[in-house]
Amino acid sequence: MLGASGDLTARLLLPGLGGLLAAVPDQELLLLGSGMDDWDEARWRKRVEDSFSSVSATGPQVTATVAGTRYLQADVTEAEDLRRLIGACRGQIVIFFALPPAVTARACQALTGIELPAGTRLVLEKPFGTDTAGAERLNQLLATLVPEEQIHRIDHFLGKSTVLNILGLRFANRLFEPMLNAEHVAGVDIVFDESLALEGRAGYYDSAGALIDMVQSHLLQVLALLTMDAPPTIDAREVRDRKAQVLRATRLWDEDARTCTRRARYTAGEIAGRRLPAYADEAGVDPGRGTETLAEVVLAVDTWRWAGVPFRLRSGKAMSATRKEAVITFKQPARVPDGLTGYDRPDRLRIGFGPDRLAVDLNINGPGDPFVIDPVTLDADFGPGELPAYGEVLRGVLDDDPLLSVRGDTAEHCWRIVAPVLSAWRDGTVPLLEYPAGSAGPEGSLLPPD
Ligand SMILES: O=P(O)(O)OC[C@H]1O[C@@H](O)[C@H](O)[C@@H](O)[C@@H]1O
């Protein structure tokens, strides 16, 4: 694990790994942590132990991994150090780059001089590159190291249980799949509004912003699963081919970014009794950079199935209410018979990403007057998946199955889709709006009211 002393390792990777080891007890591994910091083994072991405990991971494999883990101080951009690390591994090697994109690229460059043992897997965190050209360069470099199937570009949303459930919902029900096309769907909203704010992550977030942090990565993966054609099997190649196909056809709704994108950042405010400073005043933020904490983008998927249907993607931090869902809004019925009153909302299919939820908004003749329409919601709350999202994607890595990883061409498509937005935002064509922390975002929205 390169970048062992970093924040990402403690916050996501180790808890994900702990959850996996607890749920899959025959998963034996030697965990080697490596970083620039002069840590001793005890300090690293404590970090592993604390992270495992934070998700209540217990069991023989958890105990054995904590006991056997080692820490090696290294500069992972130096071939000599990497050779030493690889020499300390045994069995199948998985190299996890929990590093900023620029350092990852340098570490990969350093790996080119080393013969990697057959089957070595490389695991890269998001963001994969920093723009289309950077992602292409990184892909070319990685291709010189190991075959594509052994490269796991992590997007932990692909391990979320309701995201995975999109496959079952779409392809194991006669009820929905024939309806999911431009003939019947008026629009699709993919929303991830959080009440969490910066939470001390300026080092990473201030150079990413909401568009790269959430839309370019997670929300486009959700869009791909919602729009792709049915694969014949749930095999990595089949599924990833179909995701790439729709993402290749995805573009900004309008050439003018002013009409189909919005960006904003939060000012000081309060969320559930917690006072928050303005984003621009948060420690480590460069206010002149104009990083957005809320992004809205309308996209088109130019395929026969989806032509003309707007896909509205939005993510905001420090929002008053958490809203994490994909909502498919169907067109109105061809005609509601005269005399049947009260119809005022179309049918909707809602897929919640936290809490996990599946709901259908319908119109029925409810209680009372039988000729007045009443809205109802059929709600299926289901328990969390067997593993937390990160654990699920790590299981794929350790099982050598890239199904839940982002393929190289797909990573490039995702950058290409947001490229016109990034350039319009960077040159100031689209104004940076403001909203108080703890509000519902800036006035107006490209999304319809919920
Ligand atoms: O809800 P989850 O699984 O924590 O995912 C949301 C998080 O996903 C991360 O990838 C983003 O960097 C965070 O900004 C975001 O909060």
Residue by residue, what is the 3-state secondary structure of the chain? CECCCCHHHHHHHHHHHHHHHHHCCCCCCCCEEEECCCCCHHHHHHHHHHHHHHCCCCCHHHHHHHHHCEEEECCCCCHHHHHHHHHCCCCCCEEEECCCHHHHHHHHHHHCCCCCCCCCEEEECCCCCCCHHHHHHHHHHHHCCCCHHHEEEECHHHHCHHHHHHHHHHHCCCCCHHHCCCCCEEEEEEEEECCCCCCCCHHHHCCCHHHHHHHHHHHHHHHHHHHCCCCCCCCHHHHHHHHHHHHHCEEECCCCHHHHEEEEEEECEEECCEEECCHHHCCCCCHHHCCCCEEEEEEEECCCCCCCCEEEEEEECCECCCEEEEEEEECCCCCCCCCCECCCCCCEEEEEECCEEEEEEEEEECCCCCCEEEEEEEEEECCCCCCCHHHHHHHHHHCCCHHHEECHHHHHHHHHHHHHHHHHHHCCCCCEEEEECCECCCCCCCCCCC
Q: Is the ipTM of this complex over 0.90?
A: yes
Ligand 1 centre and the CA of 34: distance in Å?
A: 24
pLDDT for res 84: 94
Which token pair is 386? 């067997």
pLDDT for res 220: 98
Report the pLDDT averaged over residues 209-224: 98
Lowest mean pLDDT among 101-115, 176-190, 421-435: 101-115
Nearest CA to ligand 1 atom 13: 213
Atom of ligand 1 nearest to the CA of 389: 3
143 lines ligand 1 (CB under 6 A): no
CA torsion through residues 446, 289, 213, 21, sign = negative
Atom of ligand 1 nearest to the CA of 196: 16
pLDDT for res 432: 98
Structure confidence at residue 11 as a pLDDT band (50, 70, 90): confident
pLDDT (tens digit per residue) in 280-320: 999 999 999 999 999 999 999 999 999 999 999 999 999 99
CA torsion through residues 160, 161, 162, 165, sign = positive
Q: Where in the chain is the domain with CATH 3.30.360.10?
A: 158-391+406-436
pLDDT for res 325: 96
pLDDT (tens digit per residue) in 240-257: 999 999 999 999 999 999
Structure confidence at residue 145 as a pLDDT band (50, 70, 90): very high
Atom of ligand 1 nearest to the CA of 12: 4
pLDDT for res 8: 86
Spatial CB neighbours of 90, under 8 Å, sequence gap ≥ 6: 30
What is the spatial distance between Cα 75 and Cα 367, in angstroms, rounded to a whole number?
Answer: 69
Judge whether 413 counts as a catalytic residue. Answer: no
Q: Where in the chain is the domain with CATH 3.40.50.720?
A: 7-154
| pLDDT > 90? residue 43 | yes
| pLDDT > 80? residue 158 | yes
- 152, 156, 184, 218: the catalytic one is 218
| pLDDT > 80? residue 382 | no
Ligand 1 centre and the CA of 196: distance in Å?
A: 9
pLDDT for res 381: 77
CATH 2.60.40.10 fits 7-154, yes or no: no
Share the mean pLDDT of the chain: 94
Nearest CA to ligand 1 atom 1: 354
pLDDT (tens digit per residue) in 262-285: 999 999 999 999 999 999 999 999
Of the residues 155, 156, 163, 217, which should be mutated to test ligand 1's pocket, given the most ligand atoms within 8 Å of the CB? 156
Structure confidence at residue 7 as a pLDDT band (50, 70, 90): confident
Report the pLDDT averaged over residues 30-35: 95
Structure confidence at residue 371 as a pLDDT band (50, 70, 90): very high
11 lines ligand 1 (CB under 6 A): no
Of the residues 163, 195, 213, which should be mutated to test ligand 1's pocket, given the most ligand atoms within 8 Å of the CB? 213
Atom of ligand 1 nearest to the CA of 218: 10
| pLDDT > 90? residue 386 | no
CATH 3.30.360.10 fits 158-391+406-436, yes or no: yes
Query: Any idea what DSSP says for residue 275?
Result: E
155 lines ligand 1 (CB under 6 A): no
Percent share of the chain, pLDDT over 90: 88
Ligand 1 centre and the CA of 342: distance in Å?
A: 40
196 lines ligand 1 (CB under 6 A): yes
pLDDT (tens digit per residue) in 177-191: 999 999 999 999 999
